[in-house]
Amino acid sequence: MMWNYVQFPDETQIAYSDVREDGTVRIDIERPRDWGFDSARCIMPAYQWSGIDGFSDQEIEEFDAFLRNNAPLIFELAECPPEERWEVA
């Protein structure tokens, strides 16, 4: 299950998973475009990026910095019981 973390003014959406068995959290980033979505995935805490489609290298660098700055809160939320979070539709 993915949980909403933030939506930016350009409608870029960042969502996170629960903490997985291996201690990682999956981050999905999407931004609507005319024919679908720009998308990228990051596995934290290793910050391994994959599935990048439509985002520039600079945008990925900015997302990486954002995730590193927000990692403590993201991990705290990812460890919360589900009833304390909002589900992504």
Q: List, for residues 7-66, the tens digit of each pLDDT value.
A: 999 999 999 999 999 999 999 999 999 889 999 999 999 999 999 999 999 999 999 999
Q: Has residue 24 been placed in a domain? A: yes
- Structural domain range at position 32: 2-82
**Within 10 A of 79 (CB to CB), how many other CB atoms are there?**
10
Q: Has residue 87 been placed in a domain? A: no
Coil/strand/helix, residue 54: coil
Domain count within the chain:
1
Which tokens hold the place of 75? Answer: 């991990």
Q: Has residue 88 been placed in a domain? A: no
- Phi/psi at 54 (nearest 5 deg)? 95, -15
pTM of the full structure: 0.89
Q: Has residue 89 been placed in a domain? A: no
Q: Has residue 60 been placed in a domain? A: yes
35 near 54, Cβ under 8 Å?
no
Lookup result for tokens 């009833």: 83
Q: Has residue 77 been placed in a domain? A: yes
End-to-end CA distance of the chain: 10
